[in-house]
Amino acid sequence: MLSKEVVELSKQHSIIRDIFEYGMKRAKEVGAENVFDFSIGNPSVPAPKEIDETALAEYYLNQKENPSFLNLFIVPTRFCNFDCVYCYEEHKPLYMNRDTQNKILQFIEKQLPRYSGLIVTWFGGEPTVALNVVEYLSIQIKKICSDLNKPYYAAINTNGYELTSEVMERFLSYNIRYFQICVDGTKATHEKHRKHIKNADSYDKIISNLVDIKNNIRRGFKIVIRTNVTKEILNVMDEYIDILYECFGGDDRFWYYWEIAKDHGGDRVKEISDNLLPDESEFIKYVIKASKLGMKFDFNQFVEPGGFVCALYPRNYWLIDYNGDVQKCTVSFDDEDVKLGMMNGTKMEIDERALARWMYLSKEKCMECSIYPACGGASCPFGEHDKCKIKDCNHFREIFNNIVMMNYYNRKEFENICMI
């Protein structure tokens, strides 16, 4: 006879049951042979024999390792006009000089003919406080790509404080079309987490800039408003969603990405150590609420094969620091262990042994892992190093599983809306 506890447990909501029931429903619609129930989180249900997941994972990882485009993450300055509580960087007033800029241009001009095209991501520090560097390089890079008849795409990670409509128009003319901008909840939580070093108008200025861009720029772009969620922000999520919807609702150029704020090192994050969330599970319901309003979240990229691989892991992806140093990690700028070499005119002088530590990772421990097809054992290559703060792969498995759940519920709610 079943205990009362088991009976009560069977009455509770079950994600696995939901997935199973959805699979049965789809089987009736498209045929059982077209529905593969891998029962996420249930290792007792094997994948069909005709699917060799390991081989597929290796194939997709190989595609990631050897992309046809040259990808450069360029740091024009280490300086930032913000003092964010969870930031791991030391914001030194260090800027890329013209000699280093020209070495980058020489490298691109010499090496780009080997590739299908070029993608540049502007990183920092805060790139917009080194606008002269970004503009000089962008103009020259665009000309080089045009002369070589190669496609050129660009993105920028910015706090948005200096991103006026005028600056935005200039960026668009330089082929910078993708923007990631952080807004941390309401004005009160944002100003607490993401302070300007001098002014007290961080939130108002960013929101004003974005609304101005929305209303006055008709050209195509994609702005992803990122939120680093803490317990405090979780408490104001309803109000925050209302603000975002009122300001940007109905404009498909604005997307959203929410992730828990993490301790990546540094002294500042200690101020909010008690305010950090253990995982993303607590804000899934808010993703669903926002999605019902038509707000767009792009989590699918992470659950696709190879989608959870570190952005700088692939062979043709390089981060070029303000001084010409070349490395593979955005989290440990001043760590000699992550430095791979330096720019030297038309080529990079790379220490191959140092590079091997990033590119050739042991996969034996990954063969039994449920998310191996997504991360390929390379979700964080720096995790293999002694100084990495996040040692346990469970951290990435938790993130992945929560993203799967957010995708699942997001899609289910969308289908329910369409049926009404």
- Ordered per-residue pLDDT tens for the chain, 420 residues: 445 554 555 555 565 666 677 777 877 887 776 665 545 444 455 555 555 666 666 666 666 655 789 999 999 999 999 998 888 878 889 999 999 999 999 999 999 999 999 999 999 899 999 999 999 999 999 999 999 999 999 999 999 999 999 999 999 999 999 999 999 999 999 999 999 999 889 999 999 999 999 999 999 999 999 999 889 999 999 999 999 999 999 899 999 988 887 776 666 666 777 777 766 677 778 888 898 898 988 665 665 666 666 777 777 889 999 999 998 887 777 777 778 899 987 889 888 888 877 776 666 667 777 677 666 666 666 655 555 555 556 556 666 666 666 666 555 544 443 333
Q: In a 10 Å sphere around its CB, with 0-12 CB exposed, 13-18 middle and 19+ buried, how is residue 99 labelled? A: exposed
> CATH number of the domain at 50-420, out of 1.10.357.10, 3.90.550.10, 1.20.1260.10, 3.20.20.70?
3.20.20.70
Phi, psi of 322 (to 5 degrees): -55, -30
Q: Are 371 and 304 in contact (CB under 8 A)?
A: no
> What is the CB neighbour count within 10 angstroms for residue 394?
9
Q: What distance, in Å, lies between the first and last C-alpha atoms of the chain?
A: 42
Q: Looking at 175-261, which runs of residues are DSSP E strands?
A: 176-182, 194-196, 222-229, 254-260
296: left (phi over 0), alpha (psi -120 to 50) or beta: beta
Boundaries of every domain in the chain:
50-420
> Would you call 384 helix, strand, or coil by DSSP?
helix
Does this model's pTM top 0.75?
A: yes
Cα 106 from Cα 344, distance rounded (Å):
9
Give the contacts of 257 (CB within 8 A, at least 6 positions apart): 180, 224, 225, 226, 227, 297, 298
> Would you call 325 helix, strand, or coil by DSSP?
strand
Single-letter amino acid code for the residue at 360? Y
Cα 255 from Cα 224, distance rounded (Å):
5
Instruction: Return the structure tokens found at 345.
Output: 């005119």
